[in-house]
């Protein structure tokens, strides 16, 4: 039996896509390239990259940073998931700017700006630790624009502009001061007579943008929106072909069609499915059988990562799981009516159905639509997760002794 030439999977489930494997999103990339060009001419551009969980927002943001740096920008991609106040945010921003500089001479220049706030530098200047003193960080926060101007003045002989990406906004958007900070900063920059070539990108699900607008309605006008939809069938086909081709593996149309159907155009799931199929394959040619075997593995992985902790453990009842799997058989993105589901389930399931609805509504899995008795999944990933797990459960029941 032939062996795969390399055992390095091109897929990165659970992580942003490496630059060399980024494909598709042409329309969105063109919009962001335009923002890079506008910024390099000396103006400020503000973008909010949004879309459902698992749609590839962070991967796109990382790719845009790569494009900007190729155009001689200095940049930083900051993940704010653990940040709950503006002092913490400002610490992450400036610490990351220094940490992500690869040019030693530039690092030495910029280090002087922050000498008062740097508490430790190790590992050949790669590891930089800023102060945690809240009063010192508040000074940096109050002087955010002047500090950015100092950075630009320091590097403008070799750099066209600054790109600043604020990602993983869960938590910080609940802080009303963050919305006020954004508005004041952008307004101050817009009304000054001193332009700054800054591309500011926020990355988050639509609810995070809603949080910002709730606290400060003017935020709605500040950011241009780049909204990521699920990838089309053509984009998904291109994605799988390119990823496998990079490893010298061919894939037939039956396998691609099945993988596309089960991943629904969500890059997060496409990487889960692609990675599982990659490891199942043994002959550098992926057919329908390989795809089914890989999807079974992906279903298990998805269940462990997402369904078990977020949904199934909370639901508890096997009857509830069975009802949920039946609902997931509906076409992706469609609503479902209570009376229609009742027609599809068993008598025992009907007895608990209303309790089931209340339970998964409380868990934030589904919500009611404007039409009485009609429901939908709150986001399509839940629908896809359950559908993928249901596919695996059905195959396991059909072939209980099958090993993957």
108-135 burial, b at 16+ Cβ within 10 Å, e below that, comes to: ebbeebbeebbeeeeeeeeebebbeeee
Determine how β-strand 374-377 pairs with β-strand 366-368.
antiparallel
For 149, the token pair is: 């101007």
For 398, the token pair is: 């059909």
pLDDT in tens, 332-357: 778 999 999 999 899 999 999 999 99
Residue 78 pLDDT = 96
pLDDT in tens, 355-402: 999 988 888 788 888 898 999 887 776 787 788 778 777 777 666 655
What are the DSSP calls for 218-243, one per residue?
THHHH-EEEEPPPPPHHHHHHHHHHH
Residue 184 pLDDT = 96
Residue 54 pLDDT = 85
What are the DSSP calls for 147-178, one per residue?
HHHHHHHHHTTT-SEEEEEEE--TTGGGSHHH
pLDDT in tens, 191-238: 988 889 999 999 999 999 999 999 999 999 999 999 999 999 999 999
Terminal C-alpha separation, the chain: 17
Greater confidence, 364 or 137?
A: 137
Most confident of 102-106, 111-115, 204-208: 204-208
To which CATH superfamily is domain 25-227 assigned?
A: P-loop containing nucleotide triphosphate hydrolases (3.40.50.300)
- How sure is the predictor about 6, in pLDDT bands with cuts at 50, 70 and 90? low
- How sure is the predictor about 123, in pLDDT bands with cuts at 50, 70 and 90? low
What are the DSSP calls for 320-340, one per residue?
HHHHHHHHHTSPTT--EEHHH
Other CB atoms closer than 10 Å to residue 92's CB: what's the count?
20
> How is the chain split into domains, by residue range?
25-227, 233-398
- The 3-state DSSP class for residue 127 equals strand
Say which residues have a Cβ less than 8 Å from residue 327's Cβ, sequence separation at least 6: 336, 341, 386
Range 155-159 average pLDDT: 94
């Amino acid at each position: 039996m032939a062996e795969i030439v390399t055992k390095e999977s091109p897929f990165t489930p659970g992580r942003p896509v490496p630059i060399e494997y980024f494909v598709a999103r042409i329309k969105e990339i063109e919009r962001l390239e335009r923002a890079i060009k506008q910024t390099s001419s000396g103006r400020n551009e503000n973008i909010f990259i949004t879309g459902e969980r698992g749609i590839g927002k962070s991967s796109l943001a990382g790719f845009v940073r790569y494009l900007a740096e190729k155009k001689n920008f200095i940049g930083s991609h900051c993940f704010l998931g653990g940040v709950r106040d503006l002092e913490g945010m400002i610490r992450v921003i400036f610490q990351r700017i220094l940490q992500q500089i690869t040019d030693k001479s530039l690092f030495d220049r910029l280090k002087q700006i922050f000498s008062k706030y740097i508490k430790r530098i190790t590992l050949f200047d790669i590891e930089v630790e800023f102060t945690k003193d809240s009063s010192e960080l508040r000074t940096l926060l109050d002087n955010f624009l002047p500090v950015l101007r100092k950075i630009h003045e320091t590097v403008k002989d070799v750099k066209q502009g600054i790109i600043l990406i604020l990602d993983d906004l869960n938590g910080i958007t609940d802080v009303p001061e963050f919305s006020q900070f954004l508005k004041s900063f952008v307004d101050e920059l817009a009304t000054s007579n001193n332009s700054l070539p800054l591309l500011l990108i926020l990355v988050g699900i639509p609810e995070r943008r809603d949080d910002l607008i709730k606290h400060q309605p003017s935020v709605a006008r500040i950011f241009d929106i780049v909204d990521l939809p699920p990838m089309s069938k053509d984009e998904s086909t291109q994605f799988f072909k390119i990823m496998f081709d990079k490893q010298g593996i061919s894939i037939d149309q039956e396998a691609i069609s099945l993988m596309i159907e089960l991943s629904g155009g969500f890059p997060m799931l496409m990487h889960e499915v692609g990675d599982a199929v990659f490891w199942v394959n043994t002959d550098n040619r992926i057919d329908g059988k390989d795809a089914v075997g890989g999807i079974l593995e992906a279903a298990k992985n998805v269940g462990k990562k997402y369904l078990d902790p977020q949904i199934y453990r909370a639901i508890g009842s096997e009857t509830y799981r069975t009802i949920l799997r039946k609902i997931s058989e509906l076409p992706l993105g469609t609503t479902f009516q209570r009376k229609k589901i009742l027609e599809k389930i068993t008598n025992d399931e009907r007895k608990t159905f209303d309790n089931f609805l209340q339970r998964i509504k409380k868990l934030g899995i589904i919500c009611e639509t404007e039409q009485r008795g009609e429901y939908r999944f709150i986001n399509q990933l839940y629908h896809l997760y359950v559908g993928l797990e249901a596919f695996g459960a059905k195959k396991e029941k059909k072939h209980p002794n099958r090993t993957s």
